Homo-oligomer: A and B are copies of this chain.
Amino acid sequence: MNEKLKIIPLGGLGEVGRNMTVIQYGDAMIVIDCGLMFPESDMPGVDLVLPNFTYLAENVEHLLGYFITHGHEDHHGALGHVLPQAPAPIYATRLTRGLIEVRLKEHKLLDSAVIHTVEHDDVIEIGPFRIEPIRVAHSIPDAVGYAVHTPLGTVVHSAEYKFDLTPVMGNTTDIHKLARLGEAGVLALLSDSTNAERAGWTPSESIVRETLERVFERAEGRIIIATFASNISRVQEVINVAEEFERRVGLVGRSMENNGEMAHKLGYLESEPGTLASIGELDGLPDDEVVICCTGTQGEPTSALVRMADGRHPRIKLRPGDTVVLSASPIPGNEELVHRTLDNLFRQGAHVLYQALAPVHVSGHASREELKLMLKLTSPRYFIPSGGEYRMLALHKELAEELGMPSENIFVIESGQVLEFDANGVRHGDSVPGGYIFVDGSGIGDIGEAVLRERRSLSFAGFVIVNLVVDAQSGEVKDLELMTRGWVYRPESEAVLSELEDFVRRMVRGAEPGGNLSELLRKRVGDLVYERTRRRPMVMVSVLEA
């Protein structure tokens, strides 16, 4: 009992514990979720963002397992990148496991990975931990939180949840287990803060069904519904309503087809024989018997919906009479792409429905009244708002205070900060490496802030490069070339460029022997460029000798 219990959120800056959380007792540690993030607008060229997993890689001999909460990429999508450097067994429910396997196969890691299927009533004993899954309702079936029993007490990780009492597939959040845990005593709760800004109670998925029914009632032509490929429950709703209205459904796009097939095989997606159809089969049907279910709600340029909106889809051409439904909200940062897609859908003459106009989507996350219910049910001694940006964590803290929790028992901590418990209480421990690791092309972690700064600077005003060949003996200019991109439109810049050339020649002729010619040129050329254009492209000088 002299060992310490540590809780360490990893992942995004200000995003505590959405993608990865370490729970450690003594040396032994388990990891809840191993998800990836998507680059923000100031990370140009970055393909993916991983939680900084240095701490796992450095302590791999004490790493007992990854416990995955659900099948969304931001909760398991980093496994393919992290496992090679920090291998450990993976624990997941059946559908989550299926989705993990799809990704690990792409990374050629399926054979080497050890995966255990977890049932809702299991208790997993591993090292000093006893771990119980807790069924939660979310926008994908088979989601679980975890109660982690340790010698110092029980830590409850809520995962992403809402208290939807009429979900699509009958899996409500296990209120009874949460109540039992609360009565038995919870040391610390980590609870999802995503919707801490939102008053009230998140509407049930059944609202979406009602809206879809109204859409199907009125639509005279084809119905195209876009949603996340991982939103299996939403796809199920589409299938249910389509069957009710005697339409056939095509799942279009690679990820939609793959996930659909997997979920179907595992029994998480149900349809009557003959409901699902290929694009070819749909082509032969009257418009009012067709539903197309595809991706593209975030305006992703390669998605089926965006290609339809642009008129670039090889098989599906939109036409007036089509009804298009975007059944998702824009993820912050994607608004411009989503708006452009909506504009283009309208330009094709389609009738378009999206969340601003009708409840065609509901959030998968608990709103403020539900957050209160979770806090009440589990009645934790300590509370760590989790899975949100800083303002959401801070608001979740204010909410817990309103419920009567003492301020000093609530910890708003950021990526890499360590919360340390022992028999006497809790304190902040030494930090571990937090924040991001970037994936770009084939490289993991080989670009960082410095490279991104260069990219941002280049995007702002391009570059001007002065290539100079100077005679080693006489010091005279033997050849000179200016290269520029992203600075000014070439035909308009001829005058400035020839002025720059003259300027460089004059400077070389007048240069002091032994002076730092290239540094001086860089500065003076930069000044002249700015004087003429009020822009500051990156200026580089290469002086080669011949």
Partner of A451, one of B40, B446, B488: B488
Contact with B along A22-59 (1 / 0, CB 8 A): 00000000000000000011101100000000000000
Q: Does A460 contact B (CB under 8 A)?
A: yes
* Residue of A345, A346, A458, A463 ringed by the most chain B CB atoms within 10 A: A458
Partner of A540, one of B443, B457, B483: B483
Q: Does A184 contact B (CB under 8 A)?
A: no
Indicate if the CB atoms of A447 and B488 lie closer than 8 Å. yes
Shortest beta-carbon distance, A256 to chain B, in Å? 24
Given contacts A342-B391, A346-B394, A467-B467, 15 further A-B contacts (CB under 8 A): A44-B459, A332-B336, A346-B391, A347-B390, A352-B391, A440-B535, A441-B461, A441-B533, A442-B533, A442-B534, A443-B488, A447-B488, A451-B489, A465-B465, A467-B542
Q: Does A448 contact B (CB under 8 A)?
A: yes
Contact A198/B356 with A44-B459, A485-B454 known, Cβ cut-off 8 Å: yes
Contact with B along A372-388 (1 / 0, CB 8 A): 00000000000000000
Residue of B nearest to A351 (CB): B398
Indicate if the CB atoms of A462 and B467 lie closer than 8 Å. no
Contacts of A467 in B (CB 8 A): 467, 542, 544
Shortest beta-carbon distance, A408 to chain B, in Å? 14
In the complex the two chains form, what is the Cα distance from A344 to B479 in whole Å?
52
Contacts of A346 in B (CB 8 A): 390-391, 394-395
Indicate if the CB atoms of A455 and B451 lie closer than 8 Å. no
Indicate if the CB atoms of B455 and A545 lie closer than 8 Å. no
Indicate if the CB atoms of A443 and B333 lie closer than 8 Å. no
Residue of B nearest to A343 (CB): B390
Q: Does A141 contact B (CB under 8 A)?
A: no
Interface residues of A (CB under 8 A from B): 14, 40-42, 44-45, 197-198, 332-333, 335-336, 339, 342-347, 352, 356-357, 389-391, 394-395, 440-443, 446-448, 450-451, 454-463, 465, 467, 469, 471, 478-481, 483, 485-489, 492-493, 532-535, 538, 540, 542, 544-546
Indicate if the CB atoms of B446 and A492 lie closer than 8 Å. yes
Contacts of A469 in B (CB 8 A): 469, 479, 544-546
Shortest beta-carbon distance, A542 to chain B, in Å? 5
Indicate if the CB atoms of B459 and A451 lie closer than 8 Å. no
11 A-B pairs whose Cβ atoms sit less than 8 Å apart in the complex: A45-B486, A45-B535, A335-B335, A344-B390, A352-B394, A442-B534, A443-B533, A451-B486, A455-B461, A456-B459, A478-B546
Indicate if the CB atoms of B483 and A441 lie closer than 8 Å. no
Indicate if the CB atoms of A465 and B442 lie closer than 8 Å. no
Partner of A485, one of B440, B463, B493: B463
Shortest beta-carbon distance, A330 to chain B, in Å? 9
Contacts of A450 in B (CB 8 A): 489
Shortest beta-carbon distance, A134 to chain B, in Å? 29
Indicate if the CB atoms of B540 and A447 lie closer than 8 Å. no
Indicate if the CB atoms of A14 and B336 lie closer than 8 Å. no
In the complex the two chains form, what is the Cα distance from A535 to B439 in whole Å?
11
Shortest beta-carbon distance, A422 to chain B, in Å? 28
In the complex the two chains form, what is the Cα distance from A202 to B24 in whole Å?
52
* Residue of A40, A339, A352, A391 ringed by the most chain B CB atoms within 10 A: A391
Contacts of A535 in B (CB 8 A): 45, 440-441, 443
Residue of B nearest to A341 (CB): B391
In the complex the two chains form, what is the Cα distance from A368 to B129 in whole Å?
57
Residue of B nearest to A394 (CB): B346
Contacts of A546 in B (CB 8 A): 469, 471, 478-479, 546
Contact A454/B486 with A446-B492, A534-B442, A542-B467 known, Cβ cut-off 8 Å: yes
Contacts of A486 in B (CB 8 A): 45, 451, 454-455, 457-458
In the complex the two chains form, what is the Cα distance from A483 to B465 in whole Å?
10
Shortest beta-carbon distance, A384 to chain B, in Å? 16
Shortest beta-carbon distance, A244 to chain B, in Å? 26
Residue of B nearest to A447 (CB): B489
Contact A389/B343 with A335-B335, A546-B469 known, Cβ cut-off 8 Å: yes
Residue of B nearest to A485 (CB): B454
Indicate if the CB atoms of A333 and B336 lie closer than 8 Å. yes
In the complex the two chains form, what is the Cα distance from A471 to B471 in whole Å?
12
Contacts of A461 in B (CB 8 A): 45, 440-441, 455
Residue of B nearest to A390 (CB): B343
Contact A454/B462 with A335-B335, A339-B389, A538-B485 known, Cβ cut-off 8 Å: yes
